[in-house]
């Protein structure tokens, strides 16, 4: 077997040269030839803060260690490429110089680049494709240093050089930031964590690099979304890892029969809420629900991190552009597309184009209220087109559905106007549960007016149906004719308020003695589930302990 091997950049950047050496694929004490062209490319990628450059640099360091341990004979050859040669790099000039150096040294070219290898074979080189020698991947849990900072209640971990590690713990809408360790993270540790992440992302078939820019990389490591930033983009090296705590179904949310029927017919849905409220978790549940309804479902995501079933294909930017992705996605003809997230003007245009093409859309939008989600479309599309593009807005708060608005167009005199000659097209925004008119949107001169008529402030219960253990306490509360009798069932992690079946799907006000606690909506099973991690649940528990009478009245 030949004992001289010349490496190109591809096997340095994917680290396969180390695997070949460690597995004995290159024989005993092989001569490994590294061209200065390869070194220059690694140095360039590192200097512009590309994470692949740091990984390649680490591979070169390990090759030097193997040389010092007498396991290989490392040889550096050639001169650094000129500025003109670097400029011609996309045309293959540097690859040609690497092949030339392999030929001159009578070495086997090791590459993971199919074009490089095929051209080398044509030129008379002996070529070893590194990816053909890669052992089959094993399906086993990953063990990384970053995972040591996670436990079952951790939503995200935040690491920054020379600072202690922090984590967000809790649930969407009810989390708190805690210091995990008092010991600051040193330079070596954070670099080791970053390198280990990139190494595993590149080797794991279920993981990928989503975005890589100067000073920033976004990776999807199985179910973990990881962002690594460096100067000049950030002030220091920082790693943020996010992990979805739960995968929910629609039945885990406060959805009654009416709303479920609405979701079956709605085609222009906006799922909105503040960051960390649980929008993406609900959107994933909705995607899986539509899949169960025998619909063709796809996702369009800048970062593909929605926890959806394998049957749902997740698309990202094609050639760095979502417009290109949208062109292909239209040809696939999905029944529903989950667009996570709609943010820029171009994103809103893509969402609108899909809706007008007849594709059902679920758009995820950051907003502080349900009406704010509509406002983000105003100015980007014609007002008259709004009801054709959006028909349902679902506001997520505290991990559950808080508000549902529906939109339709009519011609009328806007609220507050007296002259019938002022009739005009008006977009009505109504509260889905009560049917009451909440907002009117119409043109007035050169302006678009959003007029609050009767904005609903009611919130559905912040339910959590994840714990199905037997109840530990059962208390029945008497009521008089003016009250709705409630059963209060206290479980390990939640409180259930249950009314008579005839009050199913009704909006109610919950009282402790004569003091109103909160406003909510009974499910189709005539009950409200309150997590003890939320203030309403804790308040009910506190009032029960005080022997207060818990009852309700229709809203």
DSSP code string of 97-138 = HHHHHHHHTT-EEEES-HHHHHHHHHTT--EEEGGGSSPPPP
The yes-or-no verdict on residue 86 having pLDDT over 70 is no
Q: Which of 235-244, 360-369, 531-540 has the lowest mean pLDDT?
A: 531-540
In the structure, what pLDDT confidence band is assigned to residue 24 with cuts at 50, 70 and 90? confident
Per-residue pLDDT, 87: 58
In the structure, what pLDDT confidence band is assigned to residue 406 with cuts at 50, 70 and 90? very high
Question: What homologous superfamily does CATH list for 4-132?
Answer: 5'-nuclease (3.40.50.1010)
Per-residue pLDDT, 5: 94
Q: Which of 14-28, 224-238, 422-436, 511-525 has the lowest mean pLDDT?
A: 511-525
Average pLDDT over residues 387-403: 91
Per-residue pLDDT, 90: 63
Query: Nearest Cα to 286, choosing from 339, 245, 328?
Result: 339
DSSP symbol at 312: S
Average pLDDT over residues 355-371: 91
DSSP of 39-57: HHHHHHHHHTT-HHHHHHH
* 145-242 CATH choice from 3.30.450.90, 3.40.309.10, 3.30.70.2740, 1.10.10.10: 3.30.450.90
> Which has more confidence, 218 or 462?
218
Per-residue pLDDT, 313: 92
In the structure, what pLDDT confidence band is assigned to residue 262 with cuts at 50, 70 and 90? very high
Per-residue pLDDT, 178: 93
Do 250-452 and 4-132 fall under one CATH topology? yes
Average pLDDT over residues 511-533: 84
- 3 state SS of 237: coil
Per-residue pLDDT, 223: 85
Average pLDDT over residues 423-441: 92
Average pLDDT over residues 204-213: 83
In the structure, what pLDDT confidence band is assigned to residue 33 with cuts at 50, 70 and 90? very high
CA distance 345 to 328: 20
Query: Nearest Cα to 528, choosing from 400, 342, 361?
Result: 400
- The distance between the two most distant Cα atoms of the chain, rounded to a whole number of Å, is 98
Average pLDDT over residues 87-110: 83
Q: Where are the domains of the chain?
A: 4-132, 145-242, 250-452, 473-554
CA distance 268 to 266: 6
- Return the CATH fold of 250-452: Rossmann fold (3.40.50)
Query: Nearest Cα to 278, choosing from 118, 135, 170, 391?
Result: 170
Instruction: Return the percentage of the chain with pLDDT > 90, whole number.
Output: 37
Per-residue pLDDT, 461: 35
Are the beta carbons of 26 and 20 closer than 8 angstroms?
yes
Q: Which of 26-40, 81-95, 415-429, 435-449 has the lowest mean pLDDT?
A: 81-95
The yes-or-no verdict on residue 175 having pLDDT over 60 is yes
Per-residue pLDDT, 482: 59
Cβ atoms within 10 Å, residue 42: 23
In the structure, what pLDDT confidence band is assigned to residue 133 with cuts at 50, 70 and 90? very low
The yes-or-no verdict on residue 479 having pLDDT over 50 is no
CA distance 41 to 60: 12
In the structure, what pLDDT confidence band is assigned to residue 173 with cuts at 50, 70 and 90? low
Average pLDDT over residues 164-168: 94
The yes-or-no verdict on residue 476 having pLDDT over 50 is no
Query: Nearest Cα to 392, choosing from 406, 408, 376?
Result: 406
Among 114-118, 249-253, 416-420, 490-494, the range of highest mean pLDDT? 114-118
**Alpha carbon separation from 365 to 210, 315, 370, 371 (Å, rounded):** 20, 18, 10, 11
Per-residue pLDDT, 182: 92
Average pLDDT for the chain:
85
Q: Which of 143-157, 199-213, 441-455, 479-493 has the lowest mean pLDDT?
A: 479-493
């Amino acid at each position: 077997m030949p004992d001289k091997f010349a490496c190109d950049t591809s096997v340095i950047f994917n680290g396969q040269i180390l695997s070949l050496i460690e597995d004995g694929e290159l024989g005993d004490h092989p001569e490994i030839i590294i061209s200065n062209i390869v070194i220059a490319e690694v140095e360039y990628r590192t200097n512009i803060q590309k994470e692949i450059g740091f990984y390649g640099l680490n591979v070169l360091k390990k090759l030097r260690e193997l040389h010092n341990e007498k396991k290989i004979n490392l040889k550096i050859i050639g001169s650094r490429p000129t500025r003109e040669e670097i400029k011609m790099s996309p045309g293959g000039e540097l690859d040609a110089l690497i092949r030339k150096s392999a030929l001159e040294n009578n070495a086997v070219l090791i590459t993971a680049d199919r074009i490089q290898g095929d051209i080398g074979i044509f030129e008379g080189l002996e070529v070893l494709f590194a990816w053909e020698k890669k052992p089959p991947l094993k399906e086993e849990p990953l063990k990384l240093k970053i995972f040591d900072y996670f436990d079952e209640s951790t939503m995200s971990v935040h690491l920054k050089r020379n600072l202690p590690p922090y984590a967000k713990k809790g649930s969407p809408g009810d989390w708190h930031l805690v210091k995990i360790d008092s010991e600051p993270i040193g330079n070596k540790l954070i670099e080791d964590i970053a390198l280990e992440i990139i190494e595993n992302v590149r080797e794991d078939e279920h993981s990928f690099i989503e975005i890589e820019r100067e000073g920033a990389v976004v990776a999807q490591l199985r179910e973990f979304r990881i962002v690594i930033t460096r100067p000049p983009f950030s002030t220091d090296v920082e790693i943020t890892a996010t992990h979805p705590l739960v995968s929910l179904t629609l039945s885990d949310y406060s959805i009654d029969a009416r709303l479920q029927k609405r979701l079956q017919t709605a085609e222009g849905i906006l799922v909105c809420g503040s960051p960390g409220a649980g929008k993406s978790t609900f959107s994933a549940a909705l995607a899986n629900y539509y899949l169960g309804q025998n619909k063709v479902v796809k996702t369009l995501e800048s970062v593909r991190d929605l926890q959806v079933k394998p049957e749902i294909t997740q698309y990202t930017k094609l050639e760095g552009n979502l417009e290109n992705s949208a062109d292909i996605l239209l040809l696939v003809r999905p029944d529903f597309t989950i667009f996570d997230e709609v943010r820029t003007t171009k994103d809103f245009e893509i969402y609108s184009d899909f809706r007008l093409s007849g594709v059902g859309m679920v758009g995820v939008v950051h907003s502080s209220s349900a009406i704010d989600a509509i406002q983000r479309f105003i100015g980007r599309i014609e007002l008259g087109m709004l009801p054709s593009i959006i028909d349902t807005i679902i506001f997520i708060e505290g991990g559950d559905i808080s508000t549902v608005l529906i939109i339709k167009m009519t011609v009328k005199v806007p609220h507050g106007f007296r002259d019938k000659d002022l009739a005009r097209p008006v977009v009505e925004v109504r509260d889905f549960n009560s049917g009451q008119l909440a907002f009117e949107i119409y043109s007035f001169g050169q302006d678009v007016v959003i007029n609050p008529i009767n904005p609903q402030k009611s919130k559905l219960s912040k339910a959590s149906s994840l714990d199905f253990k037997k109840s530990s306490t059962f208390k029945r509360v008497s009521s008089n004719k003016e009250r709705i009798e409630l059963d209060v069932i206290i479980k390990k992690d939640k409180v259930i308020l249950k009314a008579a079946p005839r009050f199913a799907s009704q909006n109610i006000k919950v009282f402790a003695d004569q003091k109103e606690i909160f406003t909510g909506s009974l499910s189709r099973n005539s009950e409200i589930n309150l997590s003890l991690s939320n203030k309403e649940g804790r308040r009910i528990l506190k009032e029960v302990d005080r022997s207060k009478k818990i009852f309700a009245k229709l809203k």
